[in-house]
């Protein structure tokens, strides 16, 4: 079944994924593409709407990303956001100038609520929007009218309803913008004609049919980590191909404390063919002395594939390898002209050659919360659906610097205590991800009237709806105090605990 499609054209904006996620929240399928995507390709995709993202550049700089005027002649509704708004104005004959007063953060904005994208969404004439710009549209192109302003930005929004072209200087995709999701929904539904046909029930049906057609009578090997993504992928594949599927859990030795046994227990009675491979020594042999996080990820990605190839040979001919790659993995690993934030071991870390007919990634275009919804739709246990997110490389990227057996044991124990205290406090469903990091910093301490010179453990906990942006969790001090006290008293070679209070952006959720 073909779904309606909205394309997000990326001009280097930090919120490009978030825009796509918001469109999907409106029930319309959306993909992120580079601004360099050929016009013929865009036309062939038959999108019902196009959204231009923000970006860090100035449109009047010749080296900045630009787009041809012909895209505005396709007859497809377009929404420009921030840089995308300026680009629309500049390309169509308007003027973009440096701001006399730049705007950042929450900004009081005055709206013309008769605009089709501002009306009908309970938006008052004055409300808060989220700004982040040093340029502004000082003169509108012919045919456009103003639809919002601030004290320092006369054209905070503008539009040409006849051509279905809309632009906002602020960021409606960010939660700080009042009724921002309503604005996007109004554009997608009222301007583009979206009917909201994107659901996880529909996706499950289509994915199962597609997998069956692709696999035929071939054998399938699934890389099962026990995390949310691979568990949902396993449930999807089990429904699609049944006994043709073998799930292989590679315990690379970088799991959380007791986690290997917990994963095995969770799947042993699932009806799936489950194989556990204890490969700690094989992975550690390649990781010793490696400090660079990108190198760690690439080594682990390649070693994963090699282990699967070894296990596949024991099973006879296996045609397909399945991975639980999701959309944020793909985007953060760099797509088209997008910057590589970090190579995910199952995307940027794959070797050039793998000994399988094809790699199947049935969740590749889904965001994390969509994956959880899909898992629920498939009847997967809530314990697995709501399991704490855990990176494929595991604790290898939560140990800053080189990895040793001693460091691994220290981190496993510290992380276990932190997670245990979060659960005791009843915060485990309120905080979306929480974990410990073993830093490579040592400092002086005093324990038992003696001088120590030991490691610092960092605690990280975030709240987020989509893992594209995140805020640090405001854990009560008494909970942090108990966790810190237990770690320094129960875990050897640790004498200092710090708590990470950085949002995403500018940080990522993981440290490496």
Active-site annotation holds for 171: yes
Return phi, psi of residue 146, to 5°.
Answer: -75, 145
Cis peptide before 505, with omega less than 30 degrees from 0? Answer: yes
Alpha-carbon distance 504 to 512, whole Å?
Answer: 13
Q: Which of 82, 153, 192, 247 is labelled catalytic?
A: 82
The rounded distance, in Å, linking the Cα atoms of 260 and 279 is 11
Q: How many residues does the chain have?
A: 512
What's the CA gap between 188 and 182, in Å, rounded?
A: 10
**Closest alpha carbon to 471 in 496, 442, 441, 502:** 502
From 212, 200, 237, select the one nearest 365 (Cα to Cα).
200
State the DSSP string of 468-502.
Answer: SSBEE----HHHHHHHHHHHHHHSTTEEEEEE---
Tokens of 78: 């377009």
Cα–Cα distance list, 79 to 116, 123, 152, 166, 185 (Å)? 12, 18, 22, 5, 12
Query: Of 211, 216, 221, 217, which Cα lies nearest the Cα of 315?
Result: 221
Gap between the Cα atoms of 177 and 184, Å rounded: 11
Decide: residue 190, CB within 10 A, 0-12 exposed, 13-18 middle, 19+ buried: middle
* Residue 446 burial (CB count, 10 A): 9
N-terminal to C-terminal alpha carbon distance within the chain: 39
82 a catalytic residue: yes
| Tokens 């990091």 belong to residue | 437
Secondary structure of residue 358 in the 3-state scheme: strand
Q: Which of 25, 103, 159, 173 is catalytic?
A: 173
**Contacts of residue 162, Cβ cutoff 8 Å, sequence gap at least 6:** 143
Burial class (CB in 10 A: 0-12, 13-18, 19+), 214: middle
Contact assessment for residue 219 and residue 320, using Cβ atoms and an 8 Å cutoff: yes
Cα gap 174→180, rounded to integer Å: 7
Task: Please count the helices (runs of H) and the strands (runs of E) in the chain.
Answer: 14, 18
Tokens of 228: 């949310």
Q: Which two tokens stand for residue 340?
A: 């590589």
Q: At what angle do helices 228-241 and 368-377 cross, to 10 degrees?
A: 40
Strand 320-322 relative to strand 273-278, pairing: unpaired
Residues known to be catalytic: 82, 171, 173
């Amino acid at each position: 079944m073909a779904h309606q499609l909205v394309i997000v054209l990326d001009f280097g904006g930090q919120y490009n994924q978030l825009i796509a996620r918001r469109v999907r929240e409106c029930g319309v399928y959306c993909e992120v593409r580079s601004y360099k995507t050929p016009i013929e390709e865009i036309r062939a995709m038959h999108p019902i709407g196009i959204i231009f993202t923000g970006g860090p550049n100035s449109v009047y700089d010749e080296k900045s990303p630009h787009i041809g005027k012909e895209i505005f002649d396709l007859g497809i509704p377009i929404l420009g956001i921030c840089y995308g708004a300026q680009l629309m104005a500049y390309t169509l004959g308007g003027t973009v100038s440096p701001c006399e007063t730049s705007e950042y953060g929450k900004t009081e904005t005055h709206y013309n609520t008769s605009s089709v994208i501002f009306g009908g969404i309970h938006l008052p004439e004055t409300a808060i929007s989220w700004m982040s710009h040093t340029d502004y549209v000082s003169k509108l192109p012919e045919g456009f009218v103003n639809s919002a302003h601030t004290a320092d930005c006369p054209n905070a929004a503008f539009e040409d309803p006849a051509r279905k072209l809309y632009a906002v200087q602020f960021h409606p995709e960010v939660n700080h913008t009042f009724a921002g999701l309503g604005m996007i929904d109004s554009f997608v539904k009222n301007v583009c004609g979206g009917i909201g046909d994107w659901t996880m029930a529909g996706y499950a049906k289509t994915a199962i049919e597609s997998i069956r057609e692709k696999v035929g009578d071939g054998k399938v090997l699934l890389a099962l980590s026990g995390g949310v993504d691979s568990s949902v992928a396993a449930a999807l594949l089990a429904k699609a191909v049944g006994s043709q599927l073998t799930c292989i859990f590679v315990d690379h030795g970088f799991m959380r404390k007791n986690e290997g046994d917990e994963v095995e227990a969770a799947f042993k009675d699932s009806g799936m063919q489950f194989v556990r491979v204890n490969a700690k020594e094989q992975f550690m042999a390649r990781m010793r002395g490696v400090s660079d996080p990108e190198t760690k990820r690439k080594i682990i990605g390649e070693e994963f594939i090699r282990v699967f190839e070894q296990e596949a040979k024991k099973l006879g001919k296996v045609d397909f390898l399945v991975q639980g790659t999701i959309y944020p993995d793909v985007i953060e690993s760099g797509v088209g002209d997008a910057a590589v934030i970090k190579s995910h071991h199952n995307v940027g870390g794959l070797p050039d050659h793998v000994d399988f007919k094809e790699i199947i990634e049935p969740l590749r275009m889904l965001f994390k919360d969509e994956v959880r919804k899909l898992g629920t739709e498939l009847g997967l246990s809530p314990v697995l659906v709501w399991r704490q997110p855990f990176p494929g490389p595991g604790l290898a990227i939560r140990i800053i610097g080189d990895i040793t057996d001693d460091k691994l044991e220290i981190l496993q124990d510290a992380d276990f205590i932190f997670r245990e205290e979060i659960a005791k406090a009843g915060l485990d469903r309120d905080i979306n991800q929480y974990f410990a990091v073993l830093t490579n910093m040592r400092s002086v301490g005093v324990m038992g009237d003696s001088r120590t010179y030991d490691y610092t453990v960092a605690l990280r906990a975030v709240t987020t709806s989509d893992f594209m942006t995140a805020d640090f969790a405001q854990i009560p001090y008494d909970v942090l105090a108990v966790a810190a006290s237990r770690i320094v008293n129960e875990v050897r070679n640790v004498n200092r605990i710090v708590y990470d209070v950085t949002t995403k952006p500018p940080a990522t959720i993981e440290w490496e």
